Structure 1
Amino acid sequence: MTEDEAPSRKSGADGLPEVIDQVALARLYGEPLFALPQDLYIPPDALEIFLEAFEGPLDLLLYLIRKQNFNILDIPMLKVTQQYLSYVDEIRSRNLELAAEYLLMAAMLIEIKSRMLLPPKKQEGETEPEDPRAELVRRLLEYEQMKLASQRLNTVPQYGRDFLRAQVYIEQSLQPRFPDVELVDLQDAWRDILKRAKLVQHHKITREELSVREYMSNVLKTLQGRRFVEFEELFQPEKGGTVLVVTFIALLELAKETLIEITQAEAFAPIYVRLAYTPV
């Protein structure tokens, strides 16, 4: 096709072009339609104008350049402008509101072609006059980069389109429930403490009076400000078996008076002691 030739267009009986540069004129139920059928009535709603598939004037212009393998850095403005106007005419015949968006680019193409016909003017400080197509080329290259980037992003799996998020609901109580401490567990813990006390005890016979109330206070002081204390940490084996017995009795009295709570996370797990919760 020469510089002065317009794109190939044939008109049908109803005035619509049959073929536009071997590009689909419309789509019939999703299939490209390159020529209007002569013996089949197609309702207007069944046709989707091919031009509406473009995302804007730059998209259409880039399509025309790439389709014919034009050098984007040396655009043949006459050919591109003529083909672009032919597409815009097709839009205007069907959708005037859609055509308004493309007319501004058409005016820009005509302006660039007019400036190319005039003698170039050098700007101050420039060795060569600026190519009138430079700004258009810059916009086309930027648009193409963004379009390719969006296509690559579209290949990335997307939530709701390619995969769904699995959701599992687990019912949990508001307050953790610990297993009850059995008497056997306390007996076993007590035996272990006695065994360790025998290893460090001193065979010195003395008589001392020990107060259960005093050791109850000591236990409460130890638990004050601490969330959990191990059962064994409340005893002092180095002070002998008598102190251990009094401390154990003090713990039992505190538990009886519901001043402390004795808990265990699971069977055979360490036993913990804490202050009883008192609602405000």
Structure 2
Amino acid sequence: MLPEPAADVIPVTPGTPAGAEAEATVDASGFARLYGEPLLKLPNDLYIPPDALEVFLDAFEGPLDLLLYLIRKQNFNILDIPMAQLTLQYLKYVDQIRKSNLELAAEYLLMAAMLIEIKSRMLLPQRQSDLDIEADDPRAELVRRLLDYEQIKLAAFDLNALPQLDRDFVRTQIHIEQSLVTVLPDVAPVDLQQAWLDVMKRARLTQHHKISREELSVREHMTGILRRLQSTRFVEFADLFDVAGGVPVVVVNFVALLELAKETLIEITQAEPFAPIYVRLAYSPA
């Protein structure tokens, strides 16, 4: 994590007016506890290091996090990074943290050296052999690491958003006393009667339906229609169907009628819209 510059800390020396006011506000609990005993008074030879009260703010989690922040902030194309601008902004930030914490800046200095190396490789002139063969982009490895880091970071945010035990919810515990005496249910004769009626109701709902196969011939129905049309000149369309035979007979009869019309053996006529439809034998010249 990168530290922000610490604020100035003004030490309070015991014996001064400010120190006297601070000592006056100390209650019986003391400043701290040393080996379990309350410390009521600050020692005169107490040494407070300069970095003891330094405040750290979590800004970035590493060099890749800083690079990704700079790229997204400037709306750079991550597949075509302008290395000059990115390296300049990165070095400015590293120079700030190097003044306060050199150990923390070591990892960022390593990434800065890598950025400078990539920029220098991009500035080198290419040889004729490299021009014939398309050379790899020096930024390719850096782009791959940035994309992998961003994907892992987004996945970490999604995992952190999931509910966690003892953070977002707690597991409840309910104590149930189990009696040693077995308590039988109180059943009345009317309950047995109602159960029997429910069984009979379910039995009536369970019925078996047997489906039998019926052989119906389209050719046979075609012959029957032709015989009927030979005895009369016109037959109304609805009169050709035997409704009493059921749906299968009606369907087969209709298919037979269509087959006869397809073979031009019959004619289906209608004088005007919504008028009755008549069927007759097709006219065939002598």
With the length of structure 1 as denominator, give the TM-score of the two structures.
Answer: 0.44
Question: Which one has a bigger Cα radius of gyration?
Answer: 2
With the length of structure 2 as denominator, give the TM-score of the two structures.
Answer: 0.43
